Chains A and B, each alone.
Chain A
Amino acid sequence: MSRRNNKEKAIEVALLMTSGVTVVALFLLCIFLFREGALLFGDHSLVSFITGTSWYPSSSPAKFGLLPLLAGSLIVTAGAVILSVPLGIAAAIYMAEIADPKVAQLLKPFVEILAGIPSVVYGFFGLIVVVPLLQDLLSLPTGQTALAGSIMLGMMALPTIISVAEDAITSVPSSLKEGSFALGSTHWQTIYRVILPAALSGISAAVMLGIGRAIGETMTVMMVTGNTAIIPGIPEGLFDPVRTMTATIALEMGEVPQGSEHFHALFAVGAVLFITTFIINLIADSVKKKYRLQEEA
């Protein structure tokens, strides 16, 4: 009996160690990312990195100012959020509340497909269809703009927003809905006065996750935003080429010698990106927890 127990114990320990791989991976990721990034700050000060307004990695002396890249990421993401949040929430309401259940069943795989399309294919479509279209429609000097990035990223963030928001809406207790109907409210009044407020924290989590997805996206933005590292004006910068943090890493890493200043600067950008998404996920997580607590109460 005790041998059997020992074996069981050993298996449990082995399983614990296997699931520890994710913890080790995250730990190593932080160490390597921050260590390689920190090596930049021998010759450059942290302050000049964070507040620097120009990113000229090949001038001499090289300038590694984060602001143009950070601003590029923010403007593209903001545009994507403005486009995808209303659209995504509307689609989620439609699927959860209005559509015939059979139609909703058909729409679900559609959203799954949207999530499954590789980012490089989105980028390709953006480059050959959306970019020329924007250029013609708005008579811009080039269609490769922050706006093109926002449109594509907005589309890519949609499945995340739709599925999480739909979950939040369907998990609103039906007693609330029935109570509202019993008071003589119309379906729409019930949706925006009762269901949406009740699902609000779940929907906010959906929005945060969508933002996280958009800010970390690389290939699509790299292919459609023109990649010019200048600080964009707001809001007219939407119609100018911009360069995001993600695109900078992917574009420049191929050309830099390992261990050079520039190499470490790109890791420092990666570290900023990691911290940004970390905070966004943390917020999404705590919002979700709050909403679970409400449900239990």
Chain B
Amino acid sequence: MFLRPDKAEKLAFATLKVCMASVIIFVSVLLIHIIVNGYSVLSIDFITQMPMKRMTEGGIYPAIVGTVSLIGLSMALAVPLGILSAIYLNEYSRPGRASWVIEMAINNLAGTPSVVFGLFGLALFVKYFGFGPSILSASLTLALLILPVIIRASKEALMTVPQEYREASLALGITKWQTTRKVILPAAIPGIMTGIVLSIGRVAGETAPILLTGAAYFLPRIPDSVFSQFMALPYHLFVLATSGTSISQTRPLQYGTALVLLSIVFMMNGIAVVIRNHYRKKLNR
């Protein structure tokens, strides 16, 4: 059957619109479902109290503390490493074997499933280095997982710095490192920040790696050192939703935890948008 070209176009475009709309509807349903059900649970008590009565009541304070410590520690490791690597790759390296090997390693790490990172963290940090299941082991694992993401984002940001900046600075007799530090890096910082902020959201939500490297089902107290086990938001949600003793009774707690987790991710996305817009305005001035 042959349709006239204009009819075919109408039909095709309508189909494309339906596809796009169904993606949007699915995401909207997911978000609205969790926001509506989670909103009624949210309260100051929910985020500042310990879980009570075998996690069927009370709050999620220790899980928030755990997730925040994971973010802090893994970012402290991955951000400097990531930015310096990106500087090397974009400003210093010449095409050759060394940069090829590094790029290949980054691509491979970026494509490795998070659960494999979990196994790696378990074998290297928990077992071989003897850090045990702990905040330290989990943070090191997450840092390696997020490193390629930060390198790529930083490199992208460095690439957008106009070549004239480098040439003008070098023409003034300024060394390459000073040029990089005083001219290129400041110009690339907004882009780099955007990448970092987005990877914070990613670290907050990762579950499989921490499941293997130290996340605890339940702890009655806040961890006191980096060698302690810890509770974390995504793992807490998983535990409540799948293996608790009273899954349907704790449903509101599950929605609440999911919403807190989503809020962290959205906050980070929001901050990224703000940084981007702020920077764009500055550029246009």
Q: Give the Cβ gap from A80 to chain B, nearest Cβ, in Å.
A: 14
Per the bound structure, the CA–CA distance linking A182 and B202 in Å amounts to 46
A253 — which chain B residues lie within 8 A by C-beta? Answer: 118-119, 122, 211-212
Please, which residue of chain A has its CB at the minimum distance from the CB of B108? A26
Per the bound structure, the CA–CA distance linking A12 and B243 in Å amounts to 51
Q: Give the Cβ gap from B51 to chain A, nearest Cβ, in Å.
A: 17
B positions within 8 Å CB-CB of A:
5-6, 8-9, 12-13, 15-17, 19-20, 22-24, 26-27, 29-31, 33-34, 81, 84-85, 87-89, 92-93, 98, 101-102, 105-109, 111-120, 122-124, 127-128, 144, 147-148, 151, 175-177, 198, 201-202, 204-208, 211-212, 234-235, 237-238, 241-242, 251, 254, 258, 261-262, 265-266, 268-269, 273
Chain B binding surface SS class? helix
> Given contacts A16-B88, A91-B19, A127-B241, are A8 and B113 in contact (CB under 8 A)?
no
Query: Which residues of A245-297 are within 8 A (CB) of B?
Result: 246, 249-250, 253-254, 258, 266-267, 270, 273-274, 277-278, 280-281, 284-285
B211 and A250 contact, CB distance less than 8 A: yes
A116 and B198 contact, CB distance less than 8 A: yes
> Given contacts A25-B147, A117-B30, are A19 and B102 in contact (CB under 8 A)?
yes
- Could you list 8 further interchain pairs (A-B, Cβ under 8 angstroms) beyond the known A29-B116, A216-B116? A19-B102, A99-B20, A116-B202, A116-B268, A117-B30, A118-B205, A120-B235, A155-B26
Q: Which residue of B19, B108, B144, B265 is within 8 Å of A281 (Cβ)?
A: B108
A246 — which chain B residues lie within 8 A by C-beta? Answer: 113, 115, 208
A81 at the interface (CB under 8 A from B): no
A212 at the interface (CB under 8 A from B): yes
B120 — which chain A residues lie within 8 A by C-beta? Answer: 28-29, 32-33
Q: Which residue of A7, A36, A127, A219 is within 8 Å of B208 (Cβ)?
A: A219
> Given contacts A15-B84, A19-B88, A249-B119, are A129 and B113 in contact (CB under 8 A)?
no
